[in-house]
Amino acid sequence: MINPRLTIERERRDGTEGVALCVRAEGGPPEHYQMKIDAWSIKGTGEYHLRIDGLGMLRMHTSDSIARIVKWLVELNVEDLLDGPIRRVLERDLADYLPPAELAVEYFELARAAALGELAPLLSGSQN
């Protein structure tokens, strides 16, 4: 089993971003595995976005509050991610290159815990 390392970035791309968070759980050589959770908002739009991407799993969620984004991430069932269409295609066509489901779950749970830890302080100012 590869020990994943965790990277957290909070740097805004430009002045239009409000919330800006990128959490990566990565494992290195011989294979490079990565699970990434991005959360961001664009000032003045009232929209918050969350994207989960990596190890054959992909999900996007948009909401009108950071609280709903956090709730969605907390309640997300990892089995739903593993059963997503992208992972099913990869399991069928590229099974030799796709890490086992257990590893994908480990990376996702590590990234989710870190993302929730970073997003939780933002809830104190949330109305929803």
- pTM of the full predicted structure? 0.86
Tens of pLDDT, residues 80-115: 888 888 888 888 888 787 888 888 899 999 999 999
For 17-21, what is the mean pLDDT?
Answer: 87
Task: Map residue 17 onto helix, strand or coil.
Answer: strand
Q: In this structure, how many other beta carbons lie within 10 angstroms of the beta carbon of residue 109?
A: 13
DSSP β-bridge partners for residue 57: 54
CA distance 96 to 73: 29
Tens of pLDDT, residues 23-34: 999 987 667 889
Residues in the chain: 128
